[in-house]
Structure 1
Amino acid sequence: MRFLFRGVSARAFVRPFSTLDHSRIRFASKSDHRRFRAVIIRRPPKKAIERIKELFLMNVRYNANLVEIEYPQRLDAYDIGSNIACGCHAAVYELRLRRTSEYSDAEAAMSSASRHISETTTDPIIAYPLALKIMFNYQFDAPERYLWADMGSELVPFVDANRLIKGHLPVLQTLRRSHPNVIKIYTAFADCMPMLADAQSLYPEALPNANFYELIIDQPKTLFIVMKRYRMTLREYVLTVKRNYWIARVMLGQLLEAIVFLYEHTISHRDMKSDNILLDFDSPEEAPHLVLSDFGCALATGSWLVPYPDDTIDLGGNLALRAPEIRCAHPGPGQIVDFRMADLWACATLGYEMYTRFPFSCVHTSNCIWSRELSGA
């Protein structure tokens, strides 16, 4: 019995017998017994750029994609407000959900809250948190599938666009995921062209005339895009808000983030200008949230190369900010235009505008020296 107590530790009786041999080998070694300690992984501190990226990706204010709401796909489900902007191809209006019994609880709650706030606030962004882009369909007798084929590039930022344009645009490459610095599109649909109060004065050419109704039975339709509303464009911001170099750096960094994101998806915007960059902020003293919008001229075919046999090929919408390789291209047999770095050139000119003024606004005087004078001709 004494031999038994010497050979086996008293604590072994309270353990399972399967651990007896393991304990003997464990304590027989001369090395000091050390208890298990969790491995502490020391990660390097995050840099300022990484913290900014995380802020824009994880904050609901800067990334509206964190809140998913299914928006209706018909025009009578919304209340249309005042006009925000108008161009040659589209007009943008204030928009909010109209409360009806057909909506889901989330949509009804959002519509009710928006209507209640609109009665107690003077901020138009809060009263109308959405924006409606009405595309101009000048070919009134064209079928509905023509709208998706002709205006489908507007839906490049729309993550769910493949479901809408399936069968109409097989070569259009849309974004697989959203980005905080690319405009947020909630939904898109085709519906009848509305006769708004200011339509006759803003875009009379886009409205059907009397001769159209005599020839066509069906009411003309066009494409409607429901988007998040932002406070102002970059052009309005640089003209009305006093800024410093720190705010300009933040805005330029966001614009570069958007361009890199498009580059990863082989998409070229081709129409970058201060009117197509939207900003959102609560007060002029803070750095605004920047997004890139208006993808109507975007190149989203999965390739940077565009054949340029003649002048009928469209090379993008903004002639002033075209890259030198695009501006100097000449049409001809076998000519190819590469848009790989076209957006980067436009981004640099917009950065110049963020810091100072429009880069090509200088006035030529009689002191200018022509190239032929330098060559001695």
Structure 2
Amino acid sequence: MVSKQQACEVSAQNVRKTIQMFDVMIKKAKTSTDTDDKLKEVASVDELVLGDFLAKGSYGAIYPAALKSNQSELSGSFGKFPYAVKIMFNYEAVSHAPAILRSMFKETIPAQNIPLDSNLSEWEFEELTSRPLLPPHPNLVSLHHVFVDRVPALPDALKLYPAALPPRINPTGYGRNMSLFLVMKRYDCSLRDYLQKGRPSNSTSLVILTQILEGVTYMMSKGVAHRDIKSDNILLDLSYDPLKPLVVITDFGCCLADKDLGLTVPFRSADTDRGGNASLMAPEVACAKPGPFSELNYFKYDSWAVGTVAYEIYGHENPFYKQGEKQLDSRTYQNSDLPFLDCGVPLHAQAVIYGLLDRHYDSRLTAKKAASICQMLLWAPKVWIAPEVKAPSEEMVSKWLMTLATKVLTMEKWFENDPQFDLIITFLKRATVKDCLDAIAFIRGI
């Protein structure tokens, strides 16, 4: 005999399956264009038109780009340059495509297309295809294509990154002749740049935070830890509405992506690289000590880092990036050391942020639970979170999920690229009745 709880979960499962099916159909309709097919065939930087330099980091330089064969037909918010190309700085890997792909494979984790040479040996092919990959997700960078080619002599390259250039371009450079090129969607700005223009409204802040948490939740489900979540590595697309930005996580160069190890790494020796950003390293990793049975646990690493970024989203300094004596250290801080969030930050958001930054691993919020809490704050009936009203039953939540799914399926926003619409879809594709009830219980307990 099926219990009421099981029946409600079966109903939620049917919602997930239906939304997933429709989402796949729409994505196929959106992406099956001639331009995308041509982009996947690019094998050389000579097939692209590069615009003026955009930005650079420690590992690469970014330029706006377009397909040469398609440039005259382009229009949109970025005019004739709808893509961005990241030219990776290659100091070590020999100028051979398989060697470069092996050396920089982490950068390609979210790639939708990785061309492999048909002349690869069996072991090279097996090694390059055994790496875990992240299928497309609304809150991960849209990395269309990667390829290996000779490093070009671009204008101002000698001034901007002379050391990364090969000797054929800069006689005193240390770079190799060939490197990896990442072709991605072009975004408007980083989260850091967006926040420097002013503090967003609380509703916008919640939408931004929820999207980041959904991106991390998805990575965790695929066995990938980003390990470098910070406001510089989060990009925004403002084309739909600057107050409703699309938010994506980018720059996977520090990620942990190992099909065999998953999200835990043996920590036998102090020589083992903990990986990631030292300033935003979760306490359990920063404080881990090597030993015969020690492990580095990355299950809640990224969710902790999101908590630090959430301070910035809500108009405060990142407490682990501050300059001077007030900067916190993830190895030594206590929960009571976390700076108070001002009264302008809603209590529910404060609770989520403090929950993500809980020093104690067992009581810290997971990205999935934090994302569910934020999703319920955005879309659930407000009466459910009122403490003076009885909490909803499993049956009520199940019916609400079906109603929300029905609304989504009958709306005409599937082709509008509305970030909030995509956020609802993302939630419905993974939501269970238990997740919703746990999130409601957390909110009501604040």
Q: CA deviation at 1:255?
A: 0.8
Is the alpha carbon distance of 1:210 and 1:285 closer, same or farther for their aligned partners in structure 2, counting shifts above 3 Å? Answer: closer
**Residues 241 and 284, structure 1, Cα contact 8 Å, conserved in 2:** no
Is 1:198 paired with 2:166? no
Is 1:187 paired with 2:145? yes
Is the alpha carbon distance of 1:297 and 1:189 closer, same or farther for their aligned partners in structure 2, counting shifts above 3 Å? Answer: same
**Residues 158 and 170, structure 2, Cα contact 8 Å, conserved in 1:** no
Is the alpha carbon distance of 1:285 and 1:95 closer, same or farther for their aligned partners in structure 2, counting shifts above 3 Å? Answer: closer
Is the alpha carbon distance of 1:54 and 1:281 closer, same or farther for their aligned partners in structure 2, counting shifts above 3 Å? Answer: farther
Higher mean alpha-carbon deviation, 183-192 vs 328-337, is at 328-337
Mapped to 2, the partners of 1:188 and 1:307 lie a distance apart of 31
The alignment-based identity, stated in percent, is 32
Which of 63, 85, 97 is matched with 1:144 structurally?
A: 97
Aligned residue for 2:206, secondary structure, equals: helix
Alignment partner, residue 172 of structure 1: 131
Aligned residue for 2:53, secondary structure, equals: strand
Q: CA RMSD in A?
A: 3.6
Mapped to 2, the partners of 1:356 and 1:342 lie a distance apart of 23
Which of 66, 87, 90 is matched with 2:57 structurally?
A: 87
Q: CA deviation at 1:198?
A: 1.5
Is the alpha carbon distance of 1:94 and 1:159 closer, same or farther for their aligned partners in structure 2, counting shifts above 3 Å? Answer: closer
Mapped to 1, the partners of 2:158 and 2:284 lie a distance apart of 41
Is 1:159 paired with 2:106? no
Mapped to 2, the partners of 1:131 and 1:97 lie a distance apart of 11
Alignment partner, residue 113 of structure 1: 73
- Deviation by residue 1:224-269 (Cα, 9 ceiling, x = unmatched): 1100000000000000144100000001111111111111111100
Pick the structure with more helix per residue.
2
- Deviation by residue 1:175-200 (Cα, 9 ceiling, x = unmatched): 2x311111111111110011111111
Structure 1 unaligned segments of length 5 or more: list them. 1-42, 100-107, 214-218, 372-377
Q: CA deviation at 1:128?
A: 1.2
- Deviation by residue 1:81-129 (Cα, 9 ceiling, x = unmatched): 1222111211111111112xxxxxxxx4xx3222xx4xxx9x5x23311
Mapped to 2, the partners of 1:239 and 1:58 lie a distance apart of 38
Mapped to 1, the partners of 2:23 and 2:90 lie a distance apart of 36
Alignment partner, residue 315 of structure 1: 274
The structure with the largest alpha-carbon Rg is 1
Mapped to 2, the partners of 1:296 and 1:185 lie a distance apart of 13
Q: CA deviation at 1:203?
A: 1.1
- Deviation by residue 1:258-295 (Cα, 9 ceiling, x = unmatched): 11111111110011111110001137752100011111
Whichever residue aligns with residue 146 of structure 2, its letter is A
Structure 2 unaligned segments of length 5 or more: list them. 1-10, 118-123, 327-331, 334-446
Q: CA deviation at 1:329?
A: 1.6
- Deviation by residue 1:34-62 (Cα, 9 ceiling, x = unmatched): xxxxxxxxx99xx9xxxx999998888xx
Which of 130, 133, 136 is matched with 2:86 structurally?
A: 133
Alignment partner, residue 37 of structure 2: 69
Q: CA deviation at 1:311?
A: 4.0
Is the alpha carbon distance of 1:211 and 1:284 closer, same or farther for their aligned partners in structure 2, counting shifts above 3 Å? Answer: closer
Is 1:340 paired with 2:307? no
Mapped to 2, the partners of 1:96 and 1:203 lie a distance apart of 23
Is the alpha carbon distance of 1:212 and 1:93 closer, same or farther for their aligned partners in structure 2, counting shifts above 3 Å? Answer: closer
Which of 227, 232, 236 is matched with 2:189 structurally?
A: 232
- Deviation by residue 1:4-23 (Cα, 9 ceiling, x = unmatched): xxxxxxxxxxxxxxxxxxxx
Aligned residue for 1:166, secondary structure, equals: helix
1:295-374 residue pairs with structure 2 within 5 A?
295-302=252-259, 303-360=262-319, 361=322, 364=325
Mapped to 1, the partners of 2:263 and 2:115 lie a distance apart of 21
**Residues 234 and 250, structure 2, Cα contact 8 Å, conserved in 1:** yes
Is the alpha carbon distance of 1:313 and 1:199 closer, same or farther for their aligned partners in structure 2, counting shifts above 3 Å? Answer: farther
Mapped to 1, the partners of 2:73 and 2:26 lie a distance apart of 21
Is the alpha carbon distance of 1:293 and 1:238 closer, same or farther for their aligned partners in structure 2, counting shifts above 3 Å? Answer: same
Is the alpha carbon distance of 1:242 and 1:212 closer, same or farther for their aligned partners in structure 2, counting shifts above 3 Å? Answer: closer
- Deviation by residue 1:307-328 (Cα, 9 ceiling, x = unmatched): 2233443322311111110111
Alignment partner, residue 221 of structure 1: 178
**Residues 140 and 208, structure 1, Cα contact 8 Å, conserved in 2:** no
Mapped to 1, the partners of 2:232 and 2:25 lie a distance apart of 27
Is the alpha carbon distance of 1:254 and 1:281 closer, same or farther for their aligned partners in structure 2, counting shifts above 3 Å? Answer: same
Alignment partner, residue 66 of structure 2: 96
Is the alpha carbon distance of 1:91 and 1:211 closer, same or farther for their aligned partners in structure 2, counting shifts above 3 Å? Answer: closer
**Residues 157 and 183, structure 1, Cα contact 8 Å, conserved in 2:** yes
Aligned residue for 1:222, secondary structure, equals: strand
1:259-270 residue pairs with structure 2 within 5 A?
259-270=216-227
Q: CA deviation at 1:359?
A: 2.5
Aligned residue for 1:344, secondary structure, equals: helix
Name which structure has the greater RCO, CA cutoff 8 Å, separation 6+.
2
